[in-house]
A = this chain, B = another copy of it.
Amino acid sequence: MQLSIIKIGGNIIDDEARLSAFLDSFAGIPGKKILVHGGGKLATKVAEGLGIKQELVDGRRITDAETLKVVTMVYAGTINKGIVAQLQARGCAAMGLTGADGNAILSHKRVHPSIDYGYVGDVDMVNTSLLTSLLLLDKTLVFAPITHDGKGMLLNTNADTIAQELARALSTGFEVSLIYSFEKSGVLLDAEDESTVIPRINAADYADLKARQVIFAGMIPKLDNAFAALRQGVARVIIGQAEQLPLLLAGKSGTTIQNE
């Protein structure tokens, strides 16, 4: 059975018109599907409004106890329930989840030798049994980027990581397409030229592009992650613009990364 797992970032969530266009296209794609959303600027705005200072270390936001409260409010409350209600209005049987709900995603507080990231979770386990049951009930799952440690603590968790962990875990029972929304039209040969999208890449193509140094450096971590997902059983990874979801899934837009 096919399953599409789509990750959208803050750039779409912050833009009402783009979010609406995305939700139209998301509601319209057939079959089992999961949406994973990131945060966006609202959390920063709410934190500022409440006088909570954002601490940054090496350019990374630290999730202290107060920030955790804000991201839980905004991600699991405002954004998640807003998206769920809007999908319901589009006839899509959406159900919002954090990793705490039904113990969907268990994580642990990040351990790092020198930086204390605060209440940030690294994923340990995806509850495939629960998620499969919900998908078989024809529910479309909408994940906020919040997990829990099983000991009562919620943890802020990277949405890209959640999407990838869900894709990996659910590949045991589904043929998973993992779609990352991206500000560009796909993987580009020339970062400045949107017409240079590479429609398909397999591992041999990628090795060749890297050897010839014709792929720009910024894409390499994304592609490395994509090939890691393929090695973990994900059928294909697609990178492209979120509003073009049906075209992305049909391989007519964006870049499809797969083994063949």
Contact = CB atoms under 8 A, between A and B. Distances in A.
A137 to B, nearest CB: 5
Interface string A75-107: 111101110111011000111111011110000
B89 A93 contact: no
A30 interface: no
A96 B101 contact: yes
A73 interface: yes
Contacts of A72: 77-78, 81-82
A103 B78 contact: no
Given A49-B49, A76-B77, A82-B154, A102 B98 contact: no
Interface string A173-207: 00000000000000000000000000000000000
Contacts of A69: 78
Report copies per complex.
Answer: 2
A29 interface: no
Contact of A77 (B73, B85, B94, B139): B73
A65 to B, nearest CB: 12
Interface stretch (A31-39, A144-152, A214-222, A229-237): A144-152
A50 interface: yes
Interface of A is mostly: helix
A133 interface: yes
A137 B130 contact: yes
Contacts of A95: 97, 101-102
A73 B76 CA distance: 8
A90 B45 CA distance: 34
A74 interface: yes
Nearest to A154: B85
A51 interface: yes
A88 B152 contact: yes
Contacts of A89: 150-152
Contacts of A135: none
Contacts of A80: 76-77
A150 to B, nearest CB: 6
A81 B146 contact: yes
18 contacts: A49-B49, A49-B50, A72-B77, A73-B77, A73-B78, A74-B77, A76-B80, A81-B146, A85-B148, A85-B152, A86-B152, A88-B152, A89-B152, A93-B102, A94-B102, A95-B97, A95-B102, A96-B101
Minimum-distance CB pairs A-B, first 3 = A77-B77, A89-B152, A73-B77
